[in-house]
Structures are given as C-alpha cells and as structure tokens.
Structure 1
Amino acid sequence: MTEVIVSIFLIIGAGLSVIGSIGIIRFPDVYGRLHAATKSATLGVISIMIGIFLYFLIVQGLFVGKFLLTILFVFLTAPVAGFMIAKSAYNVKVKMWDQSTQDDLGRDLKKYKQHEKSQ
C-alpha cells in the first residue's frame, strides 16, 4: 500500500512537470510561459519530493529532513523568481500577447505615477 501512495505522488509530480513543459512550449508570450513554469513545475517538483520523503520515511524508516527543506526552498523561491523575471520582462517592455485583455501592472504603475505627481 505504501508503494501505491508513493507512486501516486511520483506520477502526479511527473504529470505536472510534463504539463508545465507543454505550457512553456504552447503559451504565446513570456508571461504565460512563466506562469506554466512556476505553477505546474513547482507543484511537480514538490509532489515528487513528497513521494521521495514518504518512501524513505515509511519503507526505509529514515526521516530525511533535507527533503522537507528542499520542498520548503522550492515552494518559497520558485514563485518569487518567476515574479522577478516577469517584472524584469515588463520593465524592458517585452510585448504581451496581442489578445491579452488585462495589464494590471501597467494600471498600477499609472496610479502610482499620478500619486507621486500629486504630492
């Protein structure tokens, strides 16, 4: 039964990583590609690490804290890195997809500039 649970986590992680890879190829602009990379690939890595952690904990009887630290590290750093890359792309004026309907950062920057001028 333990192997089944571990296998489920590994399959989910591999599936999410594949979905993220397909998203990187299929999305039309850098922002969509970053979304695919940070969301599904991060969850894929975390699922795989949970499966490995459970395998060593239940089957081998070893508590390996490095796996938990790796999960925490990936969970905290991957979204921040994706956000910083997206913000950098926006600052150097990488074009959004032609059919994008919303530019929240542009709207917020305009409000901020208007607020700065009024002070």
Structure 2
Amino acid sequence: MSPIVETIIAAMLLLGGAFTLVGAIGLARLPDFFTRLHGPTKATTVGVGAIMLSSVVYFSVVGEGIGIAEILITVFLFMTAPVSANILAKAAMHMGVRTMEGTEGKPWDQ
C-alpha cells in the first residue's frame, strides 16, 4: 500500500474519531435533552461516516473489492439518525420536556 493511501486512511480515521469524540462529549455535557440531540445526530454521524469511508478505501486498495457492507451501513446511518432524532424531539415536545433556561430562544421572536 502506498504511503499516500495510508495517509488518507489515517486522516479519515483521525477525523472520524475526533468527530465521534466531540459528539460523545456533547451528549454527556450539554445541558438539556434538546441540545443533547445534536451530539449523536450531527457530529457522531459524520464521525462514523468518515470511519466507514476509510474502511471502504482500505479494503478497495488491499484488493478485496469495494466494501458494499460498509457503504450500506453508512447509508442506513445517514438515513436513520436524523429521522430518529426528529421522532425523539417530537416525543419530548409532546411529553412537555422542559428546556434549560436560555436554550429555548427562537430567533424569529426577537
């Protein structure tokens, strides 16, 4: 494997790990339910996507062919993460989950 491909794979793995870490920290540290939805649905989705893409590149270069399973996992993740976050947010609004003071602002009301 060429050093350029190894560098690209390593960079995608580091980028994916960084995004996943930021998403996990956001999930643990953000103040209320609605802001915590951004951690796993935004940053973690991009992080897992970068890790899967690096896996596709690796197995394509090694000669085992394009990883259809990795591509399907990525597509499934990108399709289900926003839908599940939307359903969770609507259920929380229906149940009356409170937001933390100062996080409920609507820019169009100002």
2: CA distance, partners of 1:76 / 1:103: 28
List runs of 5+ in structure 1 lacking aligned partners.
Answer: 108-119
1: CA distance, partners of 2:29 / 2:67: 37
List runs of 5+ in structure 2 lacking aligned partners.
Answer: none
State which of 95, 98, 103 in structure 2 corresponds to 1:95.
Answer: 98
How do 1:36-115 residues align onto structure 2 when only pairs under 5 Å count? 36-100=39-103, 101-102=105-106
Structure with larger Rg: 1
RMSD of the alignment, in Å? 1.7
Say if 1:2 and 1:59, in contact at 8 Å, map to a contact too. Answer: no
Identical positions, percent: 32
2:8 pairs with 1:5: yes
1: CA distance, partners of 2:84 / 2:97: 17
Q: Structure 1 runs of 4+ off > 2 angstroms?
A: none
The Cα of 1:62 is off from its aligned counterpart by: 1.7
The Cα of 1:103 is off from its aligned counterpart by: 8.7
SS in 1 for 2:37: helix
The Cα of 1:26 is off from its aligned counterpart by: 1.5
2: CA distance, partners of 1:8 / 1:60: 21
Provide, for residues 29-51 of structure 1, a one-character-per-residue CA deviation record: whole Å limited to 9, x for no partner. 10110111100011111110000
The AA in structure 2 aligned to 1:59 is V
Match of 2:17 in 1: 14
How many matched pairs?
Answer: 105
The AA in structure 2 aligned to 1:19 is V
Say if 1:49 and 1:67, in contact at 8 Å, map to a contact too. Answer: yes
